[in-house]
Structure 1
Amino acid sequence: MVEEAIERTGVLKEGHFLLSSGRHSGKYMQCAALLQYPQDAGKAGEAIASLFKGEKIDVVVGPALGGVIIAHEVARALNVRCLFAERKDGKMELRRGFAIQPGERVLVVEDVVTTGGSVKEVIELLLPLGAVIAGVGAIVDRTGGKNPFAYPFRALTKIHIESYEPENCPLCQQGLPVHKPGSRTAK
């Protein structure tokens, strides 16, 4: 289901991109292209929720901006609360009156996981609040088979996209202009 929706909605972009990790790539996954369609977003949310069937989940948390819609759809499928963390002065925070109660089991959900940086920031925010991390879910796993978390990580699909350190980027060497498509500031 998700592979068809990714293709149909044009999630995979081609060009020369600066990733939030600071690396460069000739391809970029823009899951907002899929999530703009409520029916597709709902199906993706149900599918991620099914990956954690049998787990007790009290709340779903997504990092803003990429994880907000998919976290909401996963929470809807699980019939639990949905919160999102957002950056203020470069640091993830729960704002808008959001709160985690000690002992609540949290599923952290993101659209695309490459290095896991945003998810790790959310986890670092939640643990001191007494959250129990039940796992991490995503639409797309771009980790290359490496779980970057100390928790179960499950995604709807795995996609390998080559990336490069800027000094070794063949696209830079060709003189192609670089674009920064994501919401997170590159390192």
Structure 2
Amino acid sequence: FSVRKEQKKRGREQWVEGTRLHPGTKVLLVDDVISTGGSTEQALEKILPLGVVVTGVIPMVDRGDIATARFARHNIPFHALVTYRDLGIEPVKDV
């Protein structure tokens, strides 16, 4: 499934597309690149009212240290495949 950034103005007008999530469904949130985790947290906030159980957040690349703390506040494990350290770049700073 995917979570839209904006609700479509036609069709089913759903935030979540691709499947219907049911209470108790276990899901893993996957993202390509996370800088602060804000967009992924917004997606989380849209699916939690559906009663799903989020088992973790896995980005391919984490560009900073901000998202780890963000998802820890939700008690959701966060594990990036590659971090800014692996890439030898400066971390993104929280604004």
Distance 1:110 1:142 in 2: 12
CA distance in 2, matches of 1:124, 1:139: 21
Segments of 4+ in structure 1 off by > 6 A?
none
* 1:103 counterpart SS class: coil
Given the alignment, which residue of 119, 130, 136 partners 2:40? 119
Identity score, percent: 34
User: What RMSD, in angstroms, separates the aligned Cα atoms of the two structures?
Assistant: 2.6
Q: Give the match for residue 21 of structure 1.
A: none
- The one-letter amino acid paired with 1:95 is E
Once residues 32 and 5 of structure 2 are traced to their aligned partners in structure 1, the CA distance between those partners, rounded to angstroms, is 17
Asked if 1:85 is matched to 2:6, the reply is: no
Number of equivalent positions: 81
Q: Which residue of 2 aligns with 1:132?
A: 53
Q: Give the TM-score normalised by structure 1.
A: 0.38
Normalised by the length of structure 2, the TM-score is 0.71
SS at match of 1:154: coil
What pairs with 1:57-76 in structure 2 (closer than 5 Å)? none
Kindly provide the amino acid, as one letter, of the partner of residue 57 in structure 2. V
Q: How does 1:1-187 map to 2 (within 5 A)?
A: 83-88=1-6, 93-95=15-17, 98-144=19-65, 147=68, 148-149=70-71, 150=74, 151-159=76-84, 160-161=89-90
Residue 82 of structure 2: SS of its match in structure 1? strand
Larger Rg: 1
The Cα shift of 1:99 comes to 1.4
Quick one: distance in 1 between partners of 2:5 and 2:66? 28
1:162 Cα deviation from its structure 2 partner:
5.1
Higher helix share: 1
Q: Mark the runs of 5 or more structure 1 residues left unpaired by the alignment.
A: 1-82, 166-187
Alpha-carbon spacing, 1:144–1:100, altered in 2? closer, same or farther (3 Å):
same
Distance 1:101 1:163, change over 3 A: closer
Distance 1:145 1:157, change over 3 A: farther
Compute the displacement of 1:87 (Å): 2.2
Assess, with a 3 A threshold, how the Cα gap between structure 1 residues 145 and 85 changes in structure 2: closer, same or farther. Answer: closer
**5+ residue gaps, structure 2:** 8-13
Amino acid at match of 1:101: H
